[in-house]
A and B are shown apart, each in its own frame.
Chain A
Amino acid sequence: MIVPNLGPFVVSGLATGAVYALSAVAIVILFRASGVVNLAQGAIGALSAIIAWQIGNSGGPPWIGWIAGVIAAMAVSLAYGRLLAPRVAHSDPVVRAVATLGLALVLLGVMDFFWGEYGRVLRLPTDSLGVRILDVRVTYTRLIALGLTCLVTVGTIFFLGWTRMGLAMRALANRRDISAMLGVPVLTVDSWAWAMSGLIAGVSGILLANLARMQPLFLTFMVIPVIAAAIAGRVQSLGIAVAGGLAIGVIEAIGTPFPSVAPYRTLTPFVFAIVALVFLQRHGHPLISGGAGLGADDVRSGAPAGSPRHRALVGVAAGVATALVVALAVPEIASSYWLRVLTASAILALGSLATAIIYAQLGMVSLCQFALVGVGGWVALRSWHAIHWPFEMSLLCGGVGAALLGLIFGLPALRMRGLYLALVTLMIAGGFQVVITAIDFPDGGAGFIGKIYNGPRQYMDRPGLATTDAAYFRYCLGALVIGYLFVLWHQRSRAGRAWAMIRRSEACALSASVNIVAYKIWAFALAGFLAGICGGLLAGLIGTLDLTSFPASESVLLFAVTLIGGAYSWLGPILAGLLLRAVPGLLNDWHIDGNIATIVFGAGLLHALITAPGGVAGQILDTVGRIKVFARQVRREKAV
């Protein structure tokens, strides 16, 4: 094999890496100062870029556009940091990160509503000047990006290490309550951190729009590979974040001339981050910060009165009866459109259940559950096209396949938890997106990948007993009920007790000779299995799946919506399923602009995370409980 001349790719990669690095620096600064991994950073940068473009393109002086863009980015970041972030400041770091996804969705919706996803070019005067290095023309814009990255990094290191404000920021990030008690002006310091990160996000947004492409959606979700660079330094070290960003840029570029790896080269950030974290973990850096106590039991409702077994039986009977009524009634009254929407909701409820298990039972966060849904769908489709056996067999295959991968994806959980586990699993979800884009879902072709390249696509048949939409709705509802029973059975068995102990304290569990490794793995495998079934059912809905449906952001969204629904309650996953499919379905049915729907969804996400830590299900069940207590009081008063 002839090794191509890699020099130009290294130069090109360094220039791209500089932009990764600059964005990663902004992520690290904010995390160090306020403990938030800002998933909205890409969206804030995109806003800055699009405002700069708009002003430049309407005939205004370009420099006014750049300043206006950066000021807008700072303003949005500051407003969020001042008004909304403090309200979730006491939540878990993962919840704080997920809340910023709400902001990202709102911004994305606003940008798409006003500007749309059209190809645009954001020109900078420095584009026309350049130097030739190893046969590559490096524009001054790229040199500026590289220089700015170094400058910001060194400046920030000095700022955090040598100034009072920097000291206050570090104190705040470490122990928010204690810092406040010691007289650190929490809100002022927070505001500074958010404004600074907004400033950098604004500048890097303009640079990214110039160097990569000027599109809101693209820039918004660029944040996920950018986070990879930040993770390499545990979201702590600025130097490593910069080095990581540059390394990712170079490795990604070097893969270009090799056709066999080229389709997978965008995997680089994700693989890099996972390897870096595992390496750090092996070398004694603690990665448990902010994780202990997650999924605290106090969020759950207190132990119910009366015989638990009796109550559980009554609950199961009531659940099954309700499901029966729904299964019989809905197809009779719902239109074909709504039947489809509700079928998807039921399927997604299963996916949410899979996410809730890990969160509620183990107190851990996995942000790759939707990727596992994709894995389940892939395996189900592949096995069906290969063997043409009954649907149920494919469904089981999908479940088992996703369980196996879920188990592997869960391996990091043996050694880490909290935010780092969430970020590692997010990287896995990002990696899945790249792989599925390269291989797509099978549609009846030959070979392992099973793609047809010339001819009509083949579809997976629905189960023999559920070929119509109405029957398939009932089928999926049945699967959901079985999924619930399966989880309930686990909760009430030895596994459930072991999980509860692990959640409380791994040390306690260990001393009570609970096999922590086995039970953790079992939980991840179970969650994977349910996600896989969810994927198989989704594949059966249309008979095929599409690669665009499984971006990493969907996994974050699935977790967010599971939280909103209420991960600790039986009602939660059902609400989550409805939120994910029925609410957009309703907005769509009313012909409300899809971008407005995104804004509504993002705002709803923020609102729910701020106002309802126990989720909507918690609120509903609390209300029901209060009514019961009230009714009892009234009865007692009457008796008196």
Chain B
Amino acid sequence: MRRSIKAAVAAVACTLAALAFNDPAEAASAPKCGLNTGKAATGAPISIGGIVGRTGPADFSSSGDAAAAYFKCVNENGGINGRPIEYTLEDDAWKPEQAAQAAAKLVTDKKVVALVGSNSFVECAANQATYEKNEVLVVAGVGIPRDCFFGRNYSSTNAGPRLSNLGAVQYMHGKFGIKSVVCVAPNIPGVGDFSCDGVKAWGASKGVAVNVILIDPAAIDMTSIVLQAMSFKPDLIEASLPRDGVIALLKAAEDQDLGSKVKFAAPTSVYNLEFPKTIGPYWDNKVYAQLELEPFDKQSPDMLNWYAVLDKYASKNVQRDTFNQAGYLAARWIVEVMLTMDPAKIDRTSVTAALRGMKSGLQSDIACGPWYFGPGNRHNPNHAGSVAVTSGEKWVTQQSCFGVDDPDLADVLATEKELGIRK
């Protein structure tokens, strides 16, 4: 029964995708992964792990699911020079204790060489010490709270909510000359303040007034929050919330008929295929989103390959969103790194050394800039993105690939300059 319902949901999603983007997946040929030999790998498996928040307040698993799909594809195409990848994906259920148990299982019991494609609200804080003690690195799909961007052993392929918000506000400033912003974020330390502080710091330097409203994630009356936001007479409401929170906020704003009175923007969390239809026609051309990676309708080789890999190796109901792209990239890049290594000598120590010793960034047409791990004490390699707007039940790209000017990124940029990754 589950399968039939999920199949129905997937069918709807696919039809939508087809309607929205003329189904670029169809245009894609067979997926290309790793060595692309077409022969299954049979050697000694390489153990890799990942931790996602699948069950709990929201489903944050699409990143890990994408990594799993890519690894499956690699295993059918020669593996890592003959060695298949054994990928274990654990659910932390948004509970730090469970995240720590998952880390114990992966790091100690399964002896993984690295963690890839992780996507969680809690695991960065819960497991940082474990990762550092065991000298194992995380090539995360998606980092969200501050901890993910301040960990020595954690580097994600996404940009994080702080940069995503700031990117959106920067774009709106450039295009519409907005002078006053209200940033609405969950009242969760390390998430809400972290997300809006970047906008605040940037606003101070540009003379843009920024007011922050932190809301209890369990708050029932979004209408009051919208009213409060409007009391600041903003030009832009930046909804730095998870997708469901943005949807609730927009519903309240629609009830107040604010669509024409103020502009709305959101971080990448809203960028999935269903979102424009979910919020309805009222919001046509009114909700902007910053994308931490490139838009879905870009007909470039790696983007089409992402679709192809998912279509062939992932279940149909896995969400196609930015987080999914991020997981795909994490998997693709760890494979790229491991393919340059002697297959007999791939273990945790050598993988950690290879990632830490990266001297140049890895590229993909899905990402705006190079990704690297490197020796730094904190990592935020992705600090650029694009902007799209909802229009007629789909997303329409407005601007592609521009850098985000977070004053707090100075240390990261300095490291990049030092390594010669960027000029």
A-side residues, CB < 8 A to B, are: 4-5, 8-9, 12-13, 15-16, 19, 58, 112-114, 116-121, 123, 127, 130, 136-137, 139, 208, 211-213, 215, 217-218, 221-222, 225, 249, 252-253, 256-257, 262-263, 265-266, 335-337, 339-341, 344, 433-434, 437-440, 443, 451, 453-457, 459, 469, 538, 541-549, 581, 584-585, 588-589, 593-595, 598
Contacts and interface: CB of A to CB of B under 8 A. Distances in A.
A538 B96 CA distance: 11
Contact of A457 (B147, B221, B279): B147
B109 A335 contact: yes
A257 B190 CA distance: 23
Contacts of A218: 218
29 contacts: A12-B221, A13-B224, A15-B223, A112-B55, A118-B244, A118-B274, A119-B243, A121-B247, A213-B244, A213-B248, A217-B56, A252-B221, A265-B216, A265-B219, A336-B109, A337-B101, A437-B218, A438-B187, A453-B189, A454-B146, A454-B408, A456-B150, A456-B151, A457-B147, A457-B150, A542-B100, A547-B188, A581-B97, A594-B56
List the 3 closest A-B pairs by CB distance, nearest first. Answer: A119-B244, A594-B55, A336-B108
Contacts of A9: 224, 227-228
Contacts of A549: 95-97
B101 A585 contact: yes
Given A542-B126, A549-B96, A113 B2 contact: yes
Given A212-B221, A457-B128, A136 B96 contact: no
Contacts of B231: 4-5, 257
A456 B193 CA distance: 15
A211 to B, nearest CB: 8
A117 B278 contact: no
Contacts of A118: 58-59, 243-244, 274
A359 to B, nearest CB: 25
Contacts of A541: 97, 100
A535 to B, nearest CB: 12
A127 B255 contact: yes
Interface string B223-234: 111011001000
B131 interface: no
B97 A469 contact: no
Contacts of B274: 118
Nearest to B279: A121
A88 B235 CA distance: 57
A577 B280 CA distance: 47
Given A5-B231, A117-B244, A344-B101, 11 more contacts: A12-B224, A12-B227, A337-B108, A434-B218, A438-B216, A455-B150, A548-B57, A548-B122, A588-B98, A594-B56, A594-B91
A221 to B, nearest CB: 8
B121 interface: yes
Contacts of A588: 90-91, 93, 98, 101
B257 interface: yes
B221 A13 contact: yes
Majority secondary structure, A binding face? helix
A139 B97 contact: no
Given A121-B278, A542-B97, A263 B128 contact: no
B125 A546 contact: yes
A342 to B, nearest CB: 10
Nearest to A137: B256
A253 B128 CA distance: 39
A127 B261 CA distance: 19
Interface of B: 2, 5-6, 8, 12, 54-59, 90-91, 93-98, 100-102, 104-105, 107-109, 121-122, 125-126, 128-129, 146-147, 150-152, 187-190, 193-194, 197, 213-214, 216-225, 227-228, 231, 242-248, 251, 254-257, 274, 278-280, 378, 408
Contacts of A593: 55
Most A Cβ at <10 Å: residue of B213, B223, B257: B223
A339 B100 CA distance: 12
A497 B257 CA distance: 66
B105 A344 contact: no
A546 B225 contact: no
B256 to A, nearest CB: 5
A265 B220 CA distance: 11
A544 B125 contact: yes
Most B Cβ at <10 Å: residue of A114, A440, A594: A594
A538 B97 contact: yes
B129 A119 contact: no
A127 to B, nearest CB: 6
Contacts of A113: 2
A335 B105 contact: yes
Contacts of B251: 121, 213
A337 B257 contact: no
A538 B146 CA distance: 22
A105 to B, nearest CB: 13
Given A120-B278, A127-B255, A544 B218 contact: no
Contacts of B100: 340, 541-542
A586 to B, nearest CB: 12
B6 to A, nearest CB: 8
Contacts of B244: 117-120, 213, 215
Given A121-B251, A137-B256, A434-B216, A542 B96 contact: yes
